[in-house]
A and B are shown apart, each in its own frame.
Chain A
């Protein structure tokens, strides 16, 4: 089964937190003020964070999940 999840380029993240605010599943957190972290078990791949991110460094990728 394939699942859509948000992936982000950590090294370009400024940890502003706009993605955290728009995530409907509370799947994103800012790790120690350094970068955003996506909890893939909670992420539904809705792409709201990708649209919001001012640096545009979040993309939605398809991940194979072994059921």
Chain B
């Protein structure tokens, strides 16, 4: 049986991570991973993004099931609880807001461009090799560095929990997944 087109979305996820090593501006494309699932949940009231199209989910399945880099052990109960999922979402949003604030400071010329990628919200990695001087305003590049940091950090977390627990354990605490599920619940109530 021929695989449907959306089963190849993992290629886009892998490509995205690679492109960030060549030109940081490609990081902007990651906005699709935020906007599309939100739009689907708001308009259609379902999680078909998670269920079918999520490239990261497919990539993690592939790493865990085909390559076998996973202990395939159940994750601790507390990680599946609502307080942890919403807690992680809140933490993620605060960090995201902080990243937007830094972008704003660069926009206002208060801060210079930081050509670094911050991993796990802590480790600053020099990333100037992927920065090409363009005529574009600096805040556009600052946002790209910040956004790529978010994407790479969450990929690393996803791979860590993929190894420790079952494949796609990331889906349990994925902020986008938690948000779209919440939207579906609110939409169904109203």
Contact = CB atoms under 8 A, between A and B. Distances in A.
Contacts of A26: none
A55 B169 CA distance: 7
Interface string A7-37: 0000110111110100000000010111000
Nearest to B166: A54
Contact of A14 (B48, B165, B177): B177
B41 A33 contact: yes
Give chain B's interface secondary structure class: helix
List 6 A-B pairs, minimum CB-CB distance, nearest first: A33-B184, A17-B51, A56-B74, A33-B47, A16-B171, A33-B46
A33 B181 contact: yes
B33 interface: no
A14 B81 contact: no
Interface string B67-105: 000000011000011100100000000000000000000
B61 A30 contact: no
A12 B74 CA distance: 14
A30 B169 CA distance: 18
Nearest to B161: A54
- Count chain B CB atoms within 10 A of each CB in A15, A33, A34, A55 and give the residue with the most: A33
A57 interface: yes
A12 B47 contact: no
B70 to A, nearest CB: 10
B81 A30 contact: no
Interface residues of A, number: 18
Interface string A45-67: 00000001111110000000000
Nearest to B73: A56
Contacts, number: 74
Interface string B155-171: 00000000001111111
Among B45, B80, B167, B178, chain A packs the most CB atoms within 10 A around the CB of: B80
A47 to B, nearest CB: 14
B52 A34 contact: no
Given A14-B85, A15-B47, A18-B171, A54 B184 contact: no
Contacts of B177: 14-16
B80 A57 contact: yes
Nearest to A29: B51
